[in-house]
A and B are shown apart, each in its own frame.
Chain A
Amino acid sequence: MTERHDSIILHFVVRVFMVPFIVMFGAYVFIHGELSPGGGFQAGAIVASAFVLARLTLGTNHSSPRIQAHYLIWLASFGVGIYVLAGLIPMFFGANFLDYNSLPTEWFNDIAEHHRTARAMGLFIVEVGVFIAVFSVLVTMYDHLTFQHREEQDD
């Protein structure tokens, strides 16, 4: 539980410029993970750094209070679950674990009218899982390491 910082300049700069830019840059790094350097790990760390910055300056209670530590660990296991599912689904189609060639992604190519191989689709699904897991684990660790029990706060 980080206290809210007093400086209004810091609040303004962080809320208006820093956090939106960092989140947007994280989204860019994530989406361009297949085209240029980037990917789930890096983008997760960047977006988590935006949340940690908001918590450091605005205080935990004022920065996205709905995203709390005990929900985030569910989100992290959800991310790992996406990865494991992307590995398990090909096994139902007779392929090996994590063999994306057998992922049923033809319907997506029909909708998007843009050809992507099944392995590229599987790669993207895996990156989504890694992104969610890394992001939520980093924010979880910050929230838990700065958590204070209620008795300690009253003293």
Chain B
Amino acid sequence: MKWLTLAFLISFLGLFIYVSADLPDRGDPHAPGNTHLAAEFIELTGEEIEIPNIVSAILADFRAHDTLGETIVIFTAGLAVLLVLQVGYKRND
């Protein structure tokens, strides 16, 4: 059974190595991931927001709904800890 797992993982490793030869170079402007919206973000950050940090501009402006969701997720986590652990917090005294 151990050898079966090992053979399975090695075959997947070979598959990944084979596929990675076809990946685009890092920072390639003609890669499919960089042609659609990335160029627009880079241009609009300089023109409309006028701050140097493109990451912050994407995080809090272009993708503001996503960041709102993340903040609410963190807030919900804190609220869940409070609700689970603080049952009878005041009344036990």
Contacts and interface: CB of A to CB of B under 8 A. Distances in A.
B64 A39 contact: no
Interface in A121-144: 122-123, 126-127, 129-130, 133-134, 136-138, 140-141, 144
Residue picked from A35, A117, A126, A150, most chain B C-beta under 10 Å: A126
Contacts of B75: 76-77, 79-80, 133, 137
A11 interface: no
A96 B60 CA distance: 15
Interface string A54-73: 00000000000000011001
Contacts of A10: none
The contact size tier of chain A is 35 or more
Given A34-B51, A123-B56, A140-B81, A133 B61 contact: no
4 pairs of A and B residues whose beta carbons are closest in the complex: A137-B78, A98-B64, A34-B51, A123-B60
A64 B43 CA distance: 45
Interface residues of B, number: 31
Main secondary structure of the interface of B (DSSP, over half): helix
Contact of B85 (A36, A80, A147): A147
A130 B71 contact: yes
Main secondary structure of the interface of A (DSSP, over half): helix
B50 to A, nearest CB: 5
B13 to A, nearest CB: 33
Contacts of A137: 74-75, 77-78
A39 B60 contact: yes
A145 interface: yes
A35 B92 CA distance: 50
B53 A35 contact: yes
B51 A123 contact: yes
Contacts of B79: 73, 76
9 contacts: A35-B51, A36-B52, A87-B64, A100-B64, A120-B49, A130-B71, A134-B74, A136-B78, A144-B85
A119 interface: yes
A88 to B, nearest CB: 11
Contacts of B57: 123
Contact of B56 (A39, A73, A133, A147): A39
